[in-house]
Structure 1
Amino acid sequence: MNGNWDGAFIAKSVDRGISAWSTTAEEVSRELPKLAAEIEERLAAAPWGVGAEGEAFLRAHFSDGGPTEMIAQCKRLAEEIVDVGDRLRQAIDNTRQTDADIDHDLTRMTREV
Protein backbone atom coordinates (compact mmCIF):
# COMPACT_ATOMS: atom_id res chain seq x y z
CA MET A 1 0.00 0.00 0.00
CA ASN A 2 1.42 3.36 -0.98
CA GLY A 3 -0.41 5.47 1.61
CA ASN A 4 -2.50 7.18 -1.07
CA TRP A 5 -6.15 7.73 -0.12
CA ASP A 6 -7.42 7.89 -3.72
CA GLY A 7 -10.67 6.01 -3.94
CA ALA A 8 -11.24 5.92 -0.17
CA PHE A 9 -14.85 6.38 0.88
CA ILE A 10 -17.18 5.83 3.80
CA ALA A 11 -19.25 2.75 3.13
CA LYS A 12 -23.02 2.89 3.51
CA SER A 13 -22.75 0.20 6.18
CA VAL A 14 -21.54 2.99 8.47
CA ASP A 15 -25.10 4.34 8.38
CA ARG A 16 -26.43 1.04 9.71
CA GLY A 17 -23.81 1.03 12.46
CA ILE A 18 -24.57 4.60 13.49
CA SER A 19 -28.30 3.84 13.46
CA ALA A 20 -27.70 0.82 15.69
CA TRP A 21 -25.57 3.00 18.02
CA SER A 22 -28.33 5.62 18.16
CA THR A 23 -30.98 3.00 18.91
CA THR A 24 -28.89 1.58 21.73
CA ALA A 25 -28.13 5.06 23.09
CA GLU A 26 -31.84 5.91 23.10
CA GLU A 27 -32.63 2.68 24.91
CA VAL A 28 -29.95 3.34 27.53
CA SER A 29 -31.21 6.91 27.99
CA ARG A 30 -34.77 5.65 28.40
CA GLU A 31 -34.11 2.66 30.65
CA LEU A 32 -31.29 3.89 32.90
CA PRO A 33 -33.38 6.44 34.83
CA LYS A 34 -35.95 3.73 35.62
CA LEU A 35 -33.27 1.30 36.80
CA ALA A 36 -31.46 3.96 38.82
CA ALA A 37 -34.70 5.03 40.50
CA GLU A 38 -35.48 1.41 41.38
CA ILE A 39 -32.05 0.91 42.94
CA GLU A 40 -32.28 4.21 44.84
CA GLU A 41 -35.74 3.25 46.13
CA ARG A 42 -34.47 -0.10 47.37
CA LEU A 43 -31.44 1.52 49.01
CA ALA A 44 -33.72 4.04 50.71
CA ALA A 45 -35.64 1.13 52.29
CA ALA A 46 -32.42 0.29 54.21
CA PRO A 47 -32.93 -3.51 54.08
CA TRP A 48 -29.73 -4.04 56.10
CA GLY A 49 -31.46 -3.07 59.35
CA VAL A 50 -30.53 -0.81 62.22
CA GLY A 51 -28.48 -3.12 64.44
CA ALA A 52 -24.69 -3.25 64.69
CA GLU A 53 -24.48 -5.72 61.81
CA GLY A 54 -26.68 -3.48 59.67
CA GLU A 55 -24.52 -0.46 60.45
CA ALA A 56 -21.36 -2.41 59.59
CA PHE A 57 -22.90 -3.52 56.30
CA LEU A 58 -24.02 0.03 55.52
CA ARG A 59 -20.50 1.42 56.08
CA ALA A 60 -18.91 -1.31 53.96
CA HIS A 61 -21.56 -1.13 51.22
CA PHE A 62 -21.34 2.65 50.86
CA SER A 63 -17.57 2.99 51.23
CA ASP A 64 -16.03 4.90 48.33
CA GLY A 65 -19.50 5.96 47.18
CA GLY A 66 -20.88 2.44 46.86
CA PRO A 67 -23.97 1.99 44.73
CA THR A 68 -24.69 5.73 44.57
CA GLU A 69 -21.32 6.30 42.88
CA MET A 70 -22.08 3.42 40.50
CA ILE A 71 -25.40 5.06 39.57
CA ALA A 72 -23.68 8.42 39.00
CA GLN A 73 -21.05 6.78 36.79
CA CYS A 74 -23.73 4.95 34.79
CA LYS A 75 -25.56 8.24 34.20
CA ARG A 76 -22.34 9.90 33.00
CA LEU A 77 -21.58 6.93 30.76
CA ALA A 78 -25.08 7.05 29.26
CA GLU A 79 -24.60 10.74 28.46
CA GLU A 80 -21.24 9.96 26.83
CA ILE A 81 -22.77 7.16 24.74
CA VAL A 82 -25.37 9.56 23.36
CA ASP A 83 -22.82 12.35 22.83
CA VAL A 84 -20.29 10.13 21.04
CA GLY A 85 -22.94 8.87 18.65
CA ASP A 86 -24.03 12.43 17.83
CA ARG A 87 -20.44 13.60 17.34
CA LEU A 88 -19.56 10.57 15.22
CA ARG A 89 -22.58 11.10 12.98
CA GLN A 90 -21.58 14.76 12.53
CA ALA A 91 -17.99 13.78 11.72
CA ILE A 92 -19.18 11.27 9.13
CA ASP A 93 -21.57 13.80 7.58
CA ASN A 94 -18.77 16.38 7.45
CA THR A 95 -16.41 13.86 5.85
CA ARG A 96 -18.97 12.92 3.23
CA GLN A 97 -19.69 16.57 2.46
CA THR A 98 -15.97 17.32 2.18
CA ASP A 99 -15.54 14.33 -0.14
CA ALA A 100 -18.44 15.53 -2.30
CA ASP A 101 -17.01 19.07 -2.39
CA ILE A 102 -13.58 17.80 -3.40
CA ASP A 103 -15.12 15.58 -6.06
CA HIS A 104 -17.12 18.56 -7.36
CA ASP A 105 -14.00 20.77 -7.41
CA LEU A 106 -11.97 18.10 -9.21
CA THR A 107 -14.74 17.65 -11.79
CA ARG A 108 -14.82 21.41 -12.44
CA MET A 109 -11.01 21.55 -12.70
CA THR A 110 -11.02 18.74 -15.26
CA ARG A 111 -13.60 20.55 -17.37
CA GLU A 112 -11.74 23.87 -17.19
CA VAL A 113 -8.38 22.46 -18.29
Structure 2
Amino acid sequence: MPNAPEEDVLYIHPVTVARGLNQWETAAGELAERWPAIEARLRALNAARPWGSGSEGLRFYSRYFESNGPNTMLEKGDKVVDELVKSGPAMRATISNSMSTDHGEVERIKRLIQ
Protein backbone atom coordinates (compact mmCIF):
# COMPACT_ATOMS: atom_id res chain seq x y z
CA MET A 1 0.00 0.00 0.00
CA PRO A 2 1.46 3.39 -0.92
CA ASN A 3 2.41 5.81 1.80
CA ALA A 4 0.15 8.70 2.62
CA PRO A 5 1.35 11.92 0.95
CA GLU A 6 2.53 13.31 4.29
CA GLU A 7 4.91 10.37 4.66
CA ASP A 8 6.45 10.97 1.23
CA VAL A 9 7.53 14.52 1.97
CA LEU A 10 10.83 15.67 3.41
CA TYR A 11 10.71 19.07 5.06
CA ILE A 12 14.01 20.90 5.44
CA HIS A 13 13.92 23.85 7.80
CA PRO A 14 16.96 25.86 6.67
CA VAL A 15 17.48 27.77 9.92
CA THR A 16 17.31 24.63 12.05
CA VAL A 17 19.64 22.75 9.69
CA ALA A 18 22.10 25.65 9.64
CA ARG A 19 22.15 25.85 13.44
CA GLY A 20 22.65 22.12 13.76
CA LEU A 21 25.44 22.07 11.20
CA ASN A 22 27.12 25.05 12.86
CA GLN A 23 27.10 23.15 16.14
CA TRP A 24 28.36 19.96 14.43
CA GLU A 25 31.20 21.82 12.69
CA THR A 26 32.19 23.63 15.89
CA ALA A 27 32.28 20.40 17.90
CA ALA A 28 34.14 18.51 15.15
CA GLY A 29 36.67 21.33 14.81
CA GLU A 30 37.28 21.40 18.53
CA LEU A 31 37.70 17.62 18.61
CA ALA A 32 40.14 17.75 15.68
CA GLU A 33 42.14 20.42 17.47
CA ARG A 34 42.21 18.48 20.75
CA TRP A 35 42.53 14.93 19.36
CA PRO A 36 46.36 14.82 19.13
CA ALA A 37 46.69 15.70 22.83
CA ILE A 38 43.90 13.29 23.81
CA GLU A 39 45.52 10.50 21.81
CA ALA A 40 48.94 11.19 23.32
CA ARG A 41 47.48 11.23 26.83
CA LEU A 42 45.67 7.92 26.31
CA ARG A 43 48.83 6.32 24.90
CA ALA A 44 50.85 7.57 27.88
CA LEU A 45 48.27 6.28 30.36
CA ASN A 46 48.22 2.86 28.70
CA ALA A 47 52.02 2.73 28.56
CA ALA A 48 52.19 3.45 32.30
CA ARG A 49 50.17 0.26 32.93
CA PRO A 50 48.35 1.69 35.96
CA TRP A 51 46.48 -1.59 36.49
CA GLY A 52 49.62 -3.14 37.96
CA SER A 53 50.88 -6.69 37.83
CA GLY A 54 48.64 -8.28 40.45
CA SER A 55 45.96 -10.78 39.57
CA GLU A 56 43.21 -8.15 39.57
CA GLY A 57 45.28 -5.86 37.37
CA LEU A 58 46.06 -8.66 34.94
CA ARG A 59 42.36 -9.54 34.72
CA PHE A 60 41.58 -5.89 34.03
CA TYR A 61 44.33 -5.75 31.39
CA SER A 62 43.07 -8.85 29.62
CA ARG A 63 39.53 -7.44 29.41
CA TYR A 64 40.62 -3.88 28.64
CA PHE A 65 42.88 -4.97 25.78
CA GLU A 66 40.53 -7.69 24.56
CA SER A 67 40.60 -7.67 20.74
CA ASN A 68 43.23 -4.91 20.98
CA GLY A 69 40.37 -2.43 21.50
CA PRO A 70 42.24 0.56 22.93
CA ASN A 71 45.02 0.38 20.35
CA THR A 72 42.55 -0.08 17.50
CA MET A 73 40.58 2.95 18.68
CA LEU A 74 43.74 5.04 18.85
CA GLU A 75 44.97 3.83 15.45
CA LYS A 76 41.65 4.62 13.79
CA GLY A 77 40.98 7.79 15.77
CA ASP A 78 42.56 10.11 13.23
CA LYS A 79 40.35 8.73 10.46
CA VAL A 80 37.22 8.96 12.60
CA VAL A 81 37.95 12.55 13.59
CA ASP A 82 38.72 13.44 9.97
CA GLU A 83 35.39 11.95 8.85
CA LEU A 84 33.55 13.90 11.55
CA VAL A 85 35.16 17.12 10.32
CA LYS A 86 34.30 16.35 6.66
CA SER A 87 30.70 15.41 7.49
CA GLY A 88 29.58 18.96 8.30
CA PRO A 89 30.51 20.52 4.95
CA ALA A 90 29.33 17.41 3.08
CA MET A 91 25.95 17.56 4.77
CA ARG A 92 25.74 21.31 4.16
CA ALA A 93 26.33 20.69 0.42
CA THR A 94 23.78 17.87 0.36
CA ILE A 95 21.11 20.04 1.99
CA SER A 96 21.91 22.94 -0.33
CA ASN A 97 21.66 20.67 -3.38
CA SER A 98 18.34 19.28 -2.16
CA MET A 99 16.91 22.74 -1.61
CA SER A 100 18.18 23.95 -5.02
CA THR A 101 16.62 20.94 -6.72
CA ASP A 102 13.34 21.53 -4.92
CA HIS A 103 13.35 25.19 -5.93
CA GLY A 104 14.10 24.22 -9.53
CA GLU A 105 11.19 21.78 -9.58
CA VAL A 106 8.83 24.40 -8.15
CA GLU A 107 9.84 26.84 -10.88
CA ARG A 108 9.47 24.18 -13.58
CA ILE A 109 5.97 23.29 -12.39
CA LYS A 110 4.98 26.96 -12.22
CA ARG A 111 5.99 27.38 -15.87
CA LEU A 112 4.00 24.28 -16.82
CA ILE A 113 0.77 25.49 -15.24
CA GLN A 114 0.92 29.05 -16.55
Q: Which moved more, 1:59-68 or 1:33-42?
A: 59-68
TM-score normalised by the chain length of structure 2: 0.67
Match of 1:38 in 2: 41
User: What per-residue deviation string (whole Å, max 9, x for no partner) do you get for residues 43-75 of structure 1?
Assistant: 3445567xx649x73962544214212323444
Between the aligned partners of 1:83 and 1:10, the Cα distance in structure 2 is 21
Distance of aligned partners of 1:108 and 1:34 in 2 relative to their CA distance in 1, 3 Å threshold: same
Between the aligned partners of 1:2 and 1:25, the Cα distance in structure 2 is 38
Match of 1:95 in 2: 98
Between the aligned partners of 2:4 and 2:41, the Cα distance in structure 1 is 56
Structure 2 gap segments, 5+ residues each = none
Distance of aligned partners of 1:68 and 1:100 in 2 relative to their CA distance in 1, 3 Å threshold: same
Paired amino acid for 1:14: V
Greater C-alpha radius of gyration: 1
Equivalent runs, 1:7-86 vs 2, <5 Å: 9-11=11-13, 12-46=15-49, 53=54, 57=58, 60=62, 61-86=64-89
Aligned residues: 108
CA apart distance, 1:96: 0.7
RMSD: 3.4
The percent identity for this pair of structures is 27
Match of 2:108 in 1: 105
Paired amino acid for 1:104: E
TM-score normalised by the chain length of structure 1: 0.67
Structure 1 gap segments, 5+ residues each = none
Distance of aligned partners of 1:6 and 1:63 in 2 relative to their CA distance in 1, 3 Å threshold: closer
CA apart distance, 1:82: 2.5
